[in-house]
Structure 1
Amino acid sequence: MNITEFTLEQLAGQRIMAGFEGTELNSELKFLIDTVKIGGLILFSGNLSDPEQIKELCSSTQAYAASCGQPPLFIAIDQEGGEVARLKKPFTQFPGNPYIKSEKDAEEFAVISAKELSGVRINMNMAPVMDVAYRGVESVIKGRAFGDNPAWVSKMGITVIKHLQGNGIMAVAKHFPGIGRTTLDSHIDMPFLEVDSEALFAFDLPPFEAAIRNGVAGIMLSHILYSGIDTEWPASLSPVIAKDLLRAKMGFDGLVMTDDLDMGSIAGRYDIKTIIKQILLADIDLVLICHKGPWIENAFDEILRSIGTSRAVAGAGMESVSRIMRQKKNFLF
């Protein structure tokens, strides 16, 4: 599909990845596709019952998108193994990243997960976690991280990326630029870290650098405010972190997405107009809103208004949709 032929509504909608309620192609989901023209869906436990239901949900959703003249949808899930695994039995249950002890373990997780995800028509995994669990603190990510050594996290993470993507599933490295030093849960409130870029490059960023070198499809931004880098905005709303650090300095030209904007660290502090303004300034491609509510449609309206009134925003928006469509062509067409 040629994005120069997209309507403004399509250019706006492709930037949104949304959650929804239900286990089938219902009126809510149809509205997200035919009116909001979303670029992707994220699935949670409430959307899932058994393999046949999941496959039917994903297949019917893609068929409906096609019937509306829409590109294929990203259909994403958090399937890290261990603490965060939306797919339950009969899908293979893995103990999680802290229990991966070799490249063989990482490869086995990725290959089996990719086969099971593709079998039910899910095409994106919000994994691997590339955060390094910082030594000496009760890291919020300790139970989900590969460990506390950047080289080890890099090695295990890129093994997972290679074998997910080599088997047709887009990988998303998270949570940039690293939440391993954090003890406060951003689902509830916004953590603040005074760490500067030198410290990040020494410890937190090597796994993300490795992910970029190995062609990871996407990178998810954290909701943490890194005051040593940007004193005002958390990573998910920060042009300094997303545009200057991740894109310009580290050279990442894949998908950049926010973490869930419904989390307390964001939803409890900012209005949707401010959020979208910052996301567009930061060249972030995908806005992740995981729960039903007015924010999904409001985000669409605000993106649509912005690209329709600002030439600069419209130009950056075309670049974002180009990146989105490049990954869709790589994995979905």
Structure 2
Amino acid sequence: MKYKFGAFLLATLGAGYAYTKYQAHKEHQSQSSWLISDAIKVLKPFPPIKSVADYQKLYQASEQPYVVPKNVQLQFGFKARPDNADIIELNEFNEDNQRIIFYVHGGAYWMQPIYFHYAMLHHLAKKLNARIVMPIYPKAPAHHAPEVHAMILDTYQQLLAEEGVKPENITFMGDSAGGGFQLAFMQKLRDLDVKLLPSRAILLSPWLDVTMTNPAIDAIQPLDQMLNTGQVRFQGEKYAGPLAPSDPLVSPIYGDSSNLPPIDVFTGTHDILFADAKRFKALALEHDWDVNTHIYPKMLHVFSSLPIIPEAKESLAEIVNIIKAND
């Protein structure tokens, strides 16, 4: 399904050129981004959960081990670590004091990484001479937030234990659920030991509140062709498991984000999660947290992972500059 979705997007870009050019101009956005948004109306990237059978199928999938797809290995060079198949790495440079991107992927905490995650991370690795470390955390609904936190903490501590690895060389990144997780994780690390914190964090369309109770979401939902509020809320509740959905470990917008490294949030206005990105921005201003919010008009959820659109290229160039400026 996920590879059919990618192929469909690429094929759609070649169709209806004149019409889409007109529509994109009218909407004041790039032609390719308008095309992709329109394509998502037809082919939904997230499996629907409308029946017990749908849920059982996804539950069974969440119990299966993940294997890096062959095409990803061949095209981009990502591989599972020999000593731990649940840690995916890319390291083409292997330099001293190397930049490291510690990435937590999105997918509502239910889905595995897809092709576009790897394409984006490969692009950033090349631009930054960076090593990528991506834990494949246990997935809901079979697994829950405490297990995910335990696994990613263990992975991060293993990374810090390596010779020459320093927190100041590490950037935390994540998209959607992974972006929300990284904020919750930094709040937890600060309380454990502030010396564990990375140099900075970059959050792409982060899912900051799984309760999905922000009233501003309702006005955005008709514009969001990818996410459905009801389904996302249900997935968040299952991910929370024994914790309350409003627990900061699950929904970090309810936590304290003081004394954290600088945080950059990238968000689009046609994403229901934009409502809480704006809310987080307001909280940061109120409490003097070090947060910079990059708002892209009319962009969909995790648009930065679609490097075929100009707005994604622009955001990735921003991200590269942010990380380089941190050296």
TM-score calculated relative to the size of structure 2: 0.37
Q: TM-score, normalised by structure 1?
A: 0.37
